[in-house]
Structure 1
Amino acid sequence: MHRYCLQWHRIVQGRVNQEWWENVLAPLEQLELAATNDSEEMELQTRALTEPLPTNQQAYKDHHLYALEKWLHKNQVLHPKGPVLGFCKGHPVYPRSCVQTLQSRHGWLLEGLQVRENESPAKVVTRPKRTFNSQSNESNSNGDGLQPTTELYGKWQLEPLQLPHAVNGIVPKNERGQVDVWSEKCLPPGTVHLKLPRLFHVAKRLGIDYAPAMIGFDYRSGRCVPLFDGIVVCDEFKNAILEAYDEEEEQRQAAERKQEEAQALSRWYQLLCSIATRQRLKDSYNARSAAPAPERPAKIDNHMKKSTNDSKATSHPSTPQADRRPNYSLPGHGHEHEFPEEDQSFDEEAFVRTKRCPCGFSIQVEEL
């Protein structure tokens, strides 16, 4: 594209992802290279690398060749700081290859690197107060209202991560009895990280030394708590632990299936018993409702007739025939009927209990 554009910095920011675009054009570039001579390719590369310095400061933002120190990101620094290729409105212009990306101690640990001793941070930046940092010595915050800070280091200050080796089947642990597995590169040499549930029971049953794998931190209810995933054991015990784990899982799954079957049988038994009880009650009530009504005892009928005649005799003679009703109360205001037990009778065939008041009033109640 440099063949048609002499000011590449003006359009590079609006292009798609460069890595994806190169993968798409890779087959076509092979054909183009076969059809063009080497001199033309060298000319294009030379033009791309010798693009003139932009005169606008805004053009140096994420420029692929040049950089201004004022446009560096928070985690970037110039190292080495030079050479100076020119100036743009008083600001020195540096090659983009001088820009280095910095990370904290914890960030470099994820890549299996550690900061050398007696190295001063290349840059100290402020960070949000609620952001958790696993390295306490990276952050400096006090109670005078100042914001916490994070120390950043560059690649020139690093060395490969040096961890103690596993010896005689013993996993090297930290002061908390754990292994901080920020990434697979953080494992002590001679160990392996096994990410399976309930695996520490197997290692404990076999008598194999292990260490819980702490993989990070999480915020819960305003507190920062560690997260664990699996265990760390020595390489020579990996196959033995996995085989024992498979056998134990088969036994556990068989026990769970047996328990589920027993629960299913118990629930079916309860359901069938409920159905049988419901049907028995239904049949019993249907048979009782279909039985003929028993004849009323003559003694009760005579008593009811007597009570009716007595009530007619006490009614007022001037009351019209349509308004004549039996009076079941004794003379006197506020009489309440009482039914003593000695004046009650029960018909066992009809399940009818007759209750009588001393005033002569009687009622019949069906009892089940």
Structure 2
Amino acid sequence: MTDKENLMSYVIAFEADGSAKDVTRRYTKAYTSKTRRWRVENASEGGERWWHKVMKSYQKIVPDVLDQIEDNELVGVEAREPMPRNVQDFKDHPIYALERHLRRHEVLIRDAKPSGTISAGRGMPLEKIYRRRDVKIARTVDKWYRMGREVLPNEIPAKWVPKRAQPKKSRYDDDREDEREKDDAGMPIYTIDQTEQYEAPPVRDGKVPKNKFGNIDLYVPSMIPRGGVHIEHEQASRAAYVLGVDYAPALTGFSFKGRQGSAVLNGIVVAKEYEEAIRGAIEGLANMEQEAEIEKRRQTVLRVWRKFIMGLRIRERVWAGVGEDERMEAEREAEREAGLDAEIEDAPSDVTEEFDMVTGDDDYNDEDYGGGGFLVD
């Protein structure tokens, strides 16, 4: 597995009916600890889902008994694979994990029990090996809040994450700010076991609770306050304003462009008893907009017809004192002039084009003939 040009990363078995199956685990020695690292499942975040989708198109519609036996065999081969023997193979291992390989927001549960020990080399201290199932994802208070959860009171952080270093805005910034950041302990993060589902203040007497910006945080559907309803429509706020109903714009996330973020407002939250009235008002506003658009088109058509009719009337007034024969003669003359103009535009240009004269005598030399167009006696 050390030769990058000769890796058995994929072994696909095909049958006579065109179906196929991934049997790489049967022919590799260390599929989980070594081969898996070179496959698409480990290369990107959605790699495993993508590969499953690809192989699903080659599966049999109705698997037979042999397919089930083969699947159980492959699962058993992967389960019987021994524990890795070097530290590097523990990185991103699906079954085992070392504390040194934990990511920034990964922590071990409090009662995690080691499954063994390993040393990075002779004379190096032993490191405990843990099960991957004992590794949990930890997040900050704000991150949990945006997922619809809040940290329980008096909870001890599972880990303190150091703040990321931020570059100075200019060379004139005060260095004392950097010293304060270094002295800061960092950001506390918590596991999901230390949180509970967030429950927003309820709607009372038709009044919707709002934050200091006049909105309501609604990152996930579970954050809708009790007694309220989320109406997702671009005309919802206008309908509530027309009806005089108390409402709060729903803040569903943030849109980032570069380093600047802007709030994303999607619909409104109102008391549930006003939902039917709001939706009826939205439908009425939509009908009014449709009628306004139809009226706008009608006015445009009338304006065009008015201009056309006025042009016809002006033409009739101009030709009112002219006889029929004279009018026909004038029209024919106008047609002839139009045809003449077209012929002039299509006629070839009489401008002489410059070109280089080429003689057939390759031995021609200006000095033999005096040069400059003059003959020398």
TM-score (norm 1): 0.61
Aligned to 2:244: 207
The change in CA–CA distance for 1:97 and 1:28 in structure 2 (over 3 A counts) is: farther
Aligned partner of 2:241: which letter? Answer: K
| Mapped contact 1:211–1:233 kept (Cα < 8 A) | yes
1:263 aligns with 2:300: yes
Aligned to 2:128: 92
The change in CA–CA distance for 1:33 and 1:153 in structure 2 (over 3 A counts) is: farther
Instruction: Return the offset for 1:48.
Output: 3.6
Give the alignment's Cα RMSD to 1 decimal: 3.9
Aligned to 1:143: 177
Partners of 1:49 and 1:125 lie apart in 2 by: 37
Moved more, 19-28 or 118-127: 19-28
Aligned to 2:86: 56
Moved more, 15-24 or 103-112: 15-24
Aligned partner of 1:60: which letter? Answer: F
- 1:193-232 equivalences under 5 Å are 193-218=230-255, 224-232=261-269
Aligned to 1:170: 207
Instruction: Return the offset for 1:120.
Output: 3.8
Aligned to 2:367: none
Aligned to 1:190: 227
Aligned partner of 1:13: which letter? Answer: R
Cα deviations by residue, 1:122-159 (Å, 9 ceiling, x for unpaired): 232434759xxxxxxxxxxx833648964432112211
Instruction: Return the offset for 1:196.
Output: 0.9
1:31 aligns with 2:64: yes
Partners of 1:169 and 1:103 lie apart in 2 by: 35
Aligned to 1:344: none
Instruction: Return the offset for 1:30.
Output: 5.5
The change in CA–CA distance for 1:275 and 1:128 in structure 2 (over 3 A counts) is: farther
Partners of 1:52 and 1:84 lie apart in 2 by: 13
SS of the residue 1:143 aligns to: helix
Aligned to 2:143: 107
Instruction: Return the offset for 1:191.
Output: 1.9
Match for residue 194 of structure 2 among 157, 160, 164: 157
1:242 aligns with 2:279: yes
The change in CA–CA distance for 1:64 and 1:26 in structure 2 (over 3 A counts) is: farther
Instruction: Return the offset for 1:262.
Output: 1.0
1:7 aligns with 2:44: no
Aligned partner of 2:108: which letter? Answer: L
Cα deviations by residue, 1:203-251 (Å, 9 ceiling, x for unpaired): 2332322111122334579754433221101233222211221122112
SS of the residue 1:245 aligns to: helix
Aligned to 1:116: 152
| Mapped contact 1:74–1:125 kept (Cα < 8 A) | no
Instruction: Return the offset for 1:102.
Output: 1.9
Instruction: Return the offset for 1:186.
Output: 1.9
Cα deviations by residue, 1:244-274 (Å, 9 ceiling, x for unpaired): 2112211221022112311332244235545
Instruction: Report how many residues are paired.
Output: 275
The change in CA–CA distance for 1:3 and 1:224 in structure 2 (over 3 A counts) is: closer
Cα deviations by residue, 1:79-125 (Å, 9 ceiling, x for unpaired): 23432422142332211112111222233234321111223432324
| Mapped contact 1:84–1:93 kept (Cα < 8 A) | yes
The change in CA–CA distance for 1:278 and 1:86 in structure 2 (over 3 A counts) is: farther
| Mapped contact 1:77–1:99 kept (Cα < 8 A) | yes
SS of the residue 1:258 aligns to: helix
Partners of 2:300 and 2:228 lie apart in 1 by: 43
Aligned to 1:138: none
Q: Give the number of the structure whose alpha-carbon radius of gyration is greater.
A: 1
| Mapped contact 1:170–1:210 kept (Cα < 8 A) | yes
Partners of 1:182 and 1:128 lie apart in 2 by: 28
| Mapped contact 2:94–2:132 kept (Cα < 8 A) | yes
SS of the residue 2:207 aligns to: coil
The change in CA–CA distance for 1:222 and 1:157 in structure 2 (over 3 A counts) is: closer
Instruction: Return the offset for 1:67.
Output: 1.0
SS of the residue 1:250 aligns to: helix
Aligned to 2:96: 66
Cα deviations by residue, 1:293-344 (Å, 9 ceiling, x for unpaired): xxxxxxxxxxxxxxxxxxxxxxxxxxxxxxxxxxxxxxxxxxxxxxxxxxxx
Aligned to 1:364: none
Partners of 1:82 and 1:26 lie apart in 2 by: 40
| Mapped contact 1:101–1:154 kept (Cα < 8 A) | yes
- 1:339-350 equivalences under 5 Å are none
Aligned partner of 1:214: which letter? Answer: L
Partners of 2:258 and 2:298 lie apart in 1 by: 40
Partners of 1:228 and 1:189 lie apart in 2 by: 20
Partners of 2:216 and 2:115 lie apart in 1 by: 46
Aligned partner of 1:7: which letter? Answer: A
| Mapped contact 1:202–1:245 kept (Cα < 8 A) | yes
Aligned to 1:134: none
Aligned partner of 2:133: which letter? Answer: S
Aligned to 1:83: 114
Instruction: Return the offset for 1:51.
Output: 2.9
Partners of 2:205 and 2:178 lie apart in 1 by: 50
Q: Percent identity?
A: 28
SS of the residue 1:216 aligns to: strand
Instruction: Return the offset for 1:185.
Output: 2.2
SS of the residue 1:100 aligns to: strand
